[in-house]
Structure 1
Amino acid sequence: MSSATNMLEESIGNHLLRTATWPKPAGIYIALFTTLPLEDGTGGVEVSGGNYARVQNGPSDAAWNAPTGGNGEFSNAAAVVYGAPNANWGNVVGAGIYDASTGGSLLAMANLDTTRNIVAGDPAPNFPAGALKFIFA
C-alpha cells in the first residue's frame, strides 16, 4: 500500500483548483524507513548512518514506468541501488519519495512487499526494475 502525504495532496489540489501553482520537483529521492511515516509526514524513522543515503531517481520517463490499467501504480523503470551498508540499517519496512537528498518534503510513501533486515556487510540493497511501486489513486 502506498499513500501521498497530506502536503502533496493539498499541493495538487491547490494547483488544480486554486490560483497557487506547485512546481515539479527538480529531483526525486527515494528514502528507506524502519518506521513508515504517517500521511502528515510525521512519525517516520528514516535509515541513517552506515553508508546510507537517499537515491535520486528522476523525475523522468526513463526513471519511472507509466501506470497501466488505470490503477495509478507507478514503478521504477531501472534498478534503484543504495550503497553497501557498513553498519546495521535495521528492519526496512517502507520507502518514501522526497524532493531533496536530505531534509526536504516527503511526498509519498509505500510499505515494502517484504521487509528486510539490512546489516553491515550485506550486498548493496536494491530494487530491481518494477519492484518499487507507488500508487496514486
Structure 2
Amino acid sequence: MSAFSDYLEEGILNHTLRGQALSVPSTIYIALYTSDPTDAKTGNEVMDSGYLRQDAAKGGTIASGWTAPTTSSDGKMTSNAKLIQFPPIADGTVTISHYAIYDAQTGGNLLYHAPFTVAKTLEINDVLSIDVGGIEVVLR
C-alpha cells in the first residue's frame, strides 16, 4: 500500500477544499531508498555514483508511464506501465527496501512512497529492474 507524502496531502486538501491550484508535474521519477522515506521525506535515498532516479514514462507523456486507475480490493489503483531500469551499482553493496515517487530527478517533492515486498541487496554492477506493474499506487 502506498502512502501520500506530507507535501501531497497538503496539496490535495488545499486544492479540493480551499480552491487552490495543484501543480501537475511534467515528469514523474522513481527513487530508491535504503530505509522508509516517510511522509516527511526523512529516509535514506540510495547514495551511489551510478544511481539516478528514473523517469517512469521513459521520455513519453506522464500518462504513458502509468495504467489507467482501476478498482482493486484495496481501493483505486494505478501501476507503472513501463519497465523501470536503474543504472548499475558502482560503489558497493546496497540494500534497497523502499521506493518513492517524485516530481523531479533531483530534489523535488516526494509524492508517494512504499516498501518493496522484499528488500533487494545489490552488489557492484548489479542492475535493479522493476517490471511493468511492479509499482502500485493504491488510494482508499
Hey, what does 2:27 align to over in structure 1? 27
Hey, what does 2:71 align to over in structure 1? 69
TM-score using structure 1 length:
0.90
Q: What is the identity, as a one-letter code, of the residue corresponding to 1:29?
A: Y
Deviation per residue, 1:31-70 (Å, 9 max, x gap): 000011221222x000022300000114633210123225
Runs of 4+ in 1 over 2 A off after TM superposition: 58-61
Whole-Å separation in 2 of the counterparts to 1:98 and 1:112 = 16
Q: Is the 8 A contact 2:27 2:62 kept in 1?
A: no
Structure 1 position 85, deviation (Å): 1.4
- Can you give the 5+ residue segments of structure 1 that lack an aligned partner in the other structure? none
Find out whether 1:57 has 2:59 as its counterpart: no
Q: What is the identity, as a one-letter code, of the residue corresponding to 1:68?
A: T
Q: Is the 8 A contact 2:96 2:121 kept in 1?
A: yes
- Can you give the 5+ residue segments of structure 2 that lack an aligned partner in the other structure? none
Equivalent pairs counted in the alignment come to 135
Whole-Å separation in 1 of the counterparts to 2:110 and 2:41 = 6
Structure 1 position 97, deviation (Å): 0.6
TM-score using structure 2 length:
0.88
Hey, what does 1:130 align to over in structure 2? 133
Identity %: 32
Q: What is the identity, as a one-letter code, of the residue corresponding to 2:46?
A: V
Find out whether 1:97 has 2:101 as its counterpart: yes
Give the alignment's Cα RMSD to 1 decimal: 1.5
Whole-Å separation in 2 of the counterparts to 1:26 and 1:92 = 26
Query: 2:14 is paired with a residue of what secondary structure?
Result: helix
